[in-house]
């Protein structure tokens, strides 16, 4: 059954000087527990699409439904993770990971215990009383993931969460996020420029084209890649085949 439905979405940004059509007639749906990536060249509307899914931005036309309802970022059903970790520098890691719970008035003994357990499960030991500046970029991004997951969202919106990290840390975090999301059977939408990341983490890839932003083609990730961790997937033959297919499609888009 569809968990997220995007129906005939159009979006135009109006500024004093011009109107930019960022999205044209986008429709797709995502099943519960599915991991879908939005891939495409710069300016094809990926971030705009994610903002509309989150409810932060109202589309000019069309509608989005998450579990049958209009999206509401303030409700605990949506978790949003960005390229920057946005941890508050003056708060400890513990205070930071409790923040979402506090804002949603869900901070109690049990939710505290669960958030701290998640912090340990994700490999962050003994950092509770430290400040974000005392942690590496990868560790901060892991703490941001714990903060996002602590409120137990039904869907995670990930906007290039690994792109500011060095390659090795990025691969490790991809594995960790993949494992955590599968464990809790979370639905996720990932925005990325990285074909390899999209293939190794997703069940399906929605390839967008630019000017105006539109859904160009949908790729199903082969079954054998979906069951293994992203790092392992990168060495499989089916991964290389799909990588080349998407690469060619992107090239043809650039040349059209």
Ligand X SMILES: Nc1ncnc2c1ncn2[C@@H]1O[C@H](COP(=O)(O)OP(=O)(O)OP(=O)(O)O)[C@@H](O)[C@H]1O
Instruction: Report the alpha-carbon distance of residue 241 to residue 110 in Å, rounded.
Output: 46
**Given candidates 8, 13, 90, 224, which one binds ligand X under the rule CB under 6 A?**
13
Residue with smaller CB distance to ligand X, 15 or 168: 15
Largest Cα–Cα distance of the chain, in whole Å?
Answer: 57
Q: Which stretch binds ligand X (CB under 6 A): 15-23, 60-68, 197-205, 214-222?
A: 15-23
Residue 27 burial (C-beta neighbours within 10 Å; 0-12, 13-18, 19+): exposed
Of residues 48, 54, 76, 96, which one binds ligand X by CB under 6 A? Answer: 48
Stretches 14-22, 146-154, 199-207, 214-222: which one binds ligand X (CB under 6 A)? Answer: 14-22
> Please, what is the minimum distance in Å from the beta carbon of residue 77 to ligand X?
23
Could you give the CA distance from residue 183 to residue 234 in angstroms, rounded to a whole number? 21
Residue 42 makes contact with ligand X by CB under 6 A: yes
Q: Give the tokens for residue 225.
A: 């890649």
Q: CB atoms < 10 A from the CB of 165, how many? A: 19
Closest C-alpha among 227, 196, 178, 184 to residue 32: 184
Q: Judged by CB under 6 A, which stretch of 39-47, 106-114, 142-150, 239-247 contacts ligand X?
A: 39-47
Q: Is 10 in the site for ligand X (CB under 6 A)?
A: no
Estimate the share of the chain in helix, then strand, then coil, as percent rounded to the nearest 5. 40, 25, 35
Interaction pattern, residues 183-202, with ligand X; x per rule: CB under 6 A: ----------x---------
The nearer residue to ligand X, 20 or 130, going by C-beta atoms, is: 20
Give yes or no for residue 100 binding ligand X (CB under 6 A). Answer: no
Is residue 22 a contact residue for ligand X (CB under 6 A)? yes
Q: Contacts for 125-128 with beta carbons within 8 Å, 24 or more apart?
A: 127/93, 128/92, 128/93, 128/94
- Binding-site size for ligand X (CB under 6 A) equals 14
Residue whose pair of structure tokens reads 């079954």 in the numeric block: 223
- The site for ligand X (CB under 6 A) is made up of 13, 15, 20, 22, 40, 42-48, 193, 213
């Amino acid at each position: 059954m569809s968990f997220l439905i995007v129906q005939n979405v159009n979006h135009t940004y109006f500024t004093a000087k011009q109107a930019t059509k960022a999205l044209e007639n986008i429709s797709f749906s995502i099943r519960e527990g599915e991991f879908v990536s939005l891939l495409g060249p710069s300016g094809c509307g990926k971030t705009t699409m994610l903002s509309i899914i989150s409810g932060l931005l109202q589309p000019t036309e069309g509608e989005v439904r998450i579990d049958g309802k209009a999206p509401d970022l303030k409700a605990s059903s949506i978790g949003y993770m960005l390229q920057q970790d946005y941890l508050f520098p003056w708060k400890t890691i513990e205070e930071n990971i409790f923040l979402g719970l506090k804002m949603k008035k869900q901070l109690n003994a049990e939710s505290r215990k669960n958030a701290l357990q998640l912090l340990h499960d994700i490999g962050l030991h003994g950092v509770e009383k430290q400040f974000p500046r005392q942690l590496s970029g990868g560790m901060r991004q892991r703490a941001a993931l714990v903060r996002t997951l602590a409120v137990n969202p039904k869907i995670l919106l990930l906007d290039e969460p690994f792109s500011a990290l060095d390659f090795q840390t990025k691969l490790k975090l991809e594995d960790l996020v993949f494992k955590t999301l599968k464990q809790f059977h979370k639905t996720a939408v990932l925005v990325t420029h990285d074909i390899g990341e999209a293939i190794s983490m997703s069940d399906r890839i929605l390839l967008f084209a630019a000017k105006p932003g539109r859904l160009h083609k949908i790729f199903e990730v082969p079954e054998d890649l979906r069951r293994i961790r992203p790092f392992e997937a990168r060495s499989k033959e089916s991964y290389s085949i799909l990588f080349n297919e998407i690469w060619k499609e992107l090239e043809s888009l650039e040349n059209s």
